[in-house]
């Protein structure tokens, strides 16, 4: 049986009821929570910082998967680790030579991911495949939830899967298109609007899980 994981992104949840929204998707059986951190520089949007990660860490034991869409991950990642994130990814586009940062994070027992934008070629991360725990392939241009899924990056997913790399896929994934993402070789599916934008987030998580466990 497949062991594909589902990571709801809280970006599309109702923030006035954050605790409840998290409880709903955790109870429905999601595997981790995807937390999108944006700084207004690397992407044209601003979300939240370590304070929110810390608050979530208090109310749930589920792994917190922080996706840093920020210009200076080297300066900020530790604050997210200290706040309770066990999985942290940063963008290849933001760091010239990622080896040092990866090493620093690994030494603190962080599960490390290297993320890449749709326009960034796979070749840019090949030298680091053995150093990280997973690659985060973006299927939208990062910055906002609810965007349209892009097909082209699935080619990267296929190539990484062939090499035995763990792949997280993020952007525009819904129950309706999850099958082709899974068939391309994804190990972790992120979904924001596909979970929280639907009438029933618990039902959406269960439907994702059903597809993932086939
Ligand atoms: C996009 C974020 C995604 C986003 C996913 O910049 O990295 O994680 O929240 O949301 P949907 O599933 O709505 O595209
Ligand atoms: Zn994300």
- For 167-210, give the secondary structure using H, E and C: EEEECCCCCCCHHHHHHHCCCEEEECHHHHCCCCHHHHHHHHHH
Instruction: Specify the ligand 1 atom closest to the Cα of 9.
Output: 9
Considering every ligand atom, which ligand is closest to the CA of 147?
Answer: 1
Distance 153 CA to ligand 2 centre (A): 15
Establish whether 61 is a catalytic residue. Answer: no
Distance 34 CA to ligand 2 centre (A): 6
pLDDT band at 214 (very low <50, low <70, confident <90, very high): confident
Find, among 113, 120, 198, the residue nearest to 153 by Cα.
120
Which helix (H) or strand (E) segment holds residue 111: the answer is strand 111-116
- Nearest Cα residue to atom 1 of ligand 1: 142
- Phi first, then psi, for residue 66 (nearest 5°) are -90, 125
Establish whether 31 is a catalytic residue. Answer: no
Find, among 172, 153, 151, the residue nearest to 161 by Cα.
153
Instruction: Specify the ligand 1 atom closest to the Cα of 191.
Output: 12
pLDDT in tens, 79-120: 999 999 999 999 999 999 999 999 999 999 999 999 999 999
Distance 127 CA to ligand 2 centre (A): 23
Close Cβ partners of 139 (under 8 Å, ≥ 6 residues apart): 118, 149, 150, 151, 153, 154, 169, 170, 171, 172, 173, 181
pTM for the predicted model, two decimal places: 0.98
Predicted confidence at residue 213, as pLDDT, reads 86
pLDDT band at 198 (very low <50, low <70, confident <90, very high): confident
Which helix (H) or strand (E) segment holds residue 89: the answer is strand 87-91
Predicted confidence at residue 74, as pLDDT, reads 98
pLDDT at 1 over 60: no
Domains of the chain: 5-212 (3.20.20.70)
Distance of CA 128 to the CA centre of its chain: 18
pLDDT band at 3 (very low <50, low <70, confident <90, very high): confident
Ligand 1 neighbours by CB, cut-off 6 Å: 9, 11-12, 34, 36, 67, 140, 142-147, 170-173, 190-194
Mean of the pLDDT values across residues 168-178?
98
pLDDT band at 2 (very low <50, low <70, confident <90, very high): low
pLDDT band at 135 (very low <50, low <70, confident <90, very high): very high
């Amino acid at each position: 049986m497949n062991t594909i994981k589902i990571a709801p992104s809280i970006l599309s949840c109702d923030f006035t009821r954050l605790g409840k929204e998290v409880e709903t998707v955790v109870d429905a059986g999601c595997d981790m929570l995807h937390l999108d951190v944006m700084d207004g520089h690397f992407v044209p949007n601003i979300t939240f910082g370590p304070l929110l990660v810390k608050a979530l860490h208090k109310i749930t034991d589920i792994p917190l998967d922080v996706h840093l869409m920020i210009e200076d991950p080297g300066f900020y990642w530790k604050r997210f680790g200290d706040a309770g994130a066990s999985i942290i990814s940063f963008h290849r586009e933001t760091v010239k030579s990622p080896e040092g940062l990866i090493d620093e994070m690994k030494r603190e027992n962080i599960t490390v991911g290297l993320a890449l934008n749709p326009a960034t070629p796979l070749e840019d991360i090949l030298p680091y495949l053995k150093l990280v725990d997973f690659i985060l392939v973006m299927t939208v241009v990062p910055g906002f939830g609810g965007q349209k899924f892009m097909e082209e990056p699935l080619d990267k997913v296929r190539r990484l899967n062939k090499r035995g790399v763990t792949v997280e896929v993020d952007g525009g994934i819904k129950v309706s298109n999850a099958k082709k993402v899974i068939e391309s070789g994804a190990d972790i599916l992120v979904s924001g609007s596909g979970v929280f934008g639907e009438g029933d987030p618990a039902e959406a998580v269960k439907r994702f899980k059903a597809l993932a466990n086939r």
